[in-house]
Structure 1
Amino acid sequence: MNRALIFDCDGVLADTERDGHLPAFNETFAHFELPVRWSQDDYARVLRIGGGKERLASLLTPAFVEAAGLPKDKAAHQRLIKRWHKEKTGRYTTKVRAGEMPGRPGIARIVSEAHDAGWTLAVASTSAEESVRAVLEHAVGRNAAAWFSVYAGDIVPRKKPAPDIYLLALNELGISATNAIVVEDSANGLRAARAAGLTTVITVSSYTGDEDFTGAALVVDCLGDLPESPARFIENPHKVENTGQVTLDTLVNLSAR
């Protein structure tokens, strides 16, 4: 049986939002002399919007446009969003390549286990593809990153919580939903994966601990690396064995429920 393990990127492969995306957004705002700086609390709210361009677009209220002295027509707004997003992506990717955001516990381990067992590996993310590939290489190593198919950015018309990115990944990989497991970190990601019929494991990240993960097959604080970083099982509705790590056996048992 051909199985697939599909990861979200931000918050899953690495805890990138707090230490990568947020400062990159704020540096971009300063670069363009925009009258906004997102605090940690601001960014927690913004994260409910899927996609970086969409988060930038949320700024463009009439009051903000007036305060920033921006043009008022929609076409100009789209050009501005594209420029801002390109600048932000470049700054974020520089941070990733500088090694500022290591992979989360258990990621490199389970990727190696899945590859050795013949599983198909993929990333499905609403972030820009350049950013995703940079995070992937630093989380699992350049050689292991080559094992992955990457589906990211504007490759689909609707971002999470729509299921489009996962439906595309399943179609391109030639894998049925019943033979795939997703690792996500957010309620939006869970909704997207579940709408595509996928069994979903949640690894909560800096901004998602208080979200509603109803429907997740398992919720943990990380995938775990023993003995240094054991996984804490937060919600375990299927009562799978807690060994301190999420393993391939854990995932197979979850997919059978």
Structure 2
Amino acid sequence: MPIQALICDCDGVLIDSEAVAARVLVRELEARWPGAAVAPVLMPLLGQRIERVLGGASEALGRRLTPEDVDAIRAVAETEAAEAPLFPGVSAALEAVTLTKACASNSYAAVVRRVLERNGLARFFNERIYCADMVARPKPAPDVYLAAAQGLGVAPDGCLVVEDSVAGVSAARAAGMTVLGFVGGAHVGGDAHALELREVGAQEIFDDMRALPALVADWIQKAEARAQ
């Protein structure tokens, strides 16, 4: 089926926020768990819901967080990450892509809407925002991407996704979508991350949002050729 929609993750794809969130999470956990080696266990968990990241870090380190700790850390991380800058060229890239666009995020819908409004990106997505608090299971489950396809009235194999995390790529692939892996974020640590995205199903890897229109055009051309 020809590609009919472009679905973008928010954090780490539209705004360079994952490094900010990671910094906050490490800082907050180190303050609560003096002497714990937080960063090595936390960084591979990025891309999942903050609650899951904190739960995974707690389990790996044999530490405990109260529900109040989790709520407080999430609030600080979301506040600081929301102030992160746009990736260079992202507005022009979205303007150049003529496909219907949606945003599918593991964050809360209210947070994503605020971020898109603040950065002038809301006009590209309007109400086509699908978030983890709107579905039963967050990424890496496919629920949010399946909800996006259903909301758009597009078959999953007609959707092209841009993702930056293993959890996100896994979710989109499980939904039956083609994925472009973006590795331009400050949180990405070299070639290993690109390899991880390829291993879970990203078909192309890129690190500059200004390349997105050409990548989309290439996938449209290939999809249309297969459909003939």
Residue matched to 2:202? 216
Residues in 1 aligned to 2:26 and 2:169: alpha-carbon distance in whole angstroms: 27
Amino acid across the alignment from 1:90: T
> Does the 8 Å CA contact 1:203/1:219 hold for their aligned counterparts?
yes
The count of corresponding residues between Structure 1 and Structure 2 is: 215
Does residue 228 of structure 2 align to residue 251 of structure 1?
no
Percentage of identical aligned residues: 29
Amino acid across the alignment from 2:71: K
> Does the 8 Å CA contact 1:5/1:181 hold for their aligned counterparts?
yes
3-state secondary structure, aligned to 1:183? strand
Q: Structure 2 regions of 5+ residues with no counterpart?
A: none
Does residue 81 of structure 2 align to residue 92 of structure 1?
yes
Residues in 2 aligned to 1:193 and 1:143: alpha-carbon distance in whole angstroms: 22
> Does the 8 Å CA contact 1:103/1:138 hold for their aligned counterparts?
no
Residue matched to 1:122? 102
Does residue 14 of structure 2 align to residue 13 of structure 1?
yes
> Does the 8 Å CA contact 2:116/2:122 hold for their aligned counterparts?
no
Residues in 2 aligned to 1:40 and 1:64: alpha-carbon distance in whole angstroms: 14
Which structure is richer in relative contact order (CA contacts within 8 A, separation 6 or more)? 2
1:30-49 correspondence to structure 2 within 5 Å: 33-35=31-33, 41-47=40-46
Q: Which of the two has higher C-alpha Rg?
A: 1
3-state secondary structure, aligned to 2:209? coil
Residue matched to 1:235? none
Larger fraction in helix: 2
Residue matched to 2:158? 179
Residues in 2 aligned to 1:38 and 1:92: alpha-carbon distance in whole angstroms: 22
1:201 deviates by 1.1
TM-score by length of 1: 0.70
Residue matched to 2:140? 161
Listed one character per residue, the Cα deviations across residues 170-195 of structure 1 (whole Å, up to 9, x for unaligned) are 11221112322111112221211111
Residue matched to 1:133? 113
TM-score by length of 2: 0.77
C-alpha RMSD over aligned residues:
3.0
Listed one character per residue, the Cα deviations across residues 187-236 of structure 1 (whole Å, up to 9, x for unaligned) are 22121111111111111133233424143232112232xxxxxx4xxxxx
Residues in 1 aligned to 2:170 and 2:125: alpha-carbon distance in whole angstroms: 28
Q: Which of residues 168, 182, 193 in structure 2 aligns to 1:189?
A: 168
> Does the 8 Å CA contact 2:105/2:144 hold for their aligned counterparts?
yes
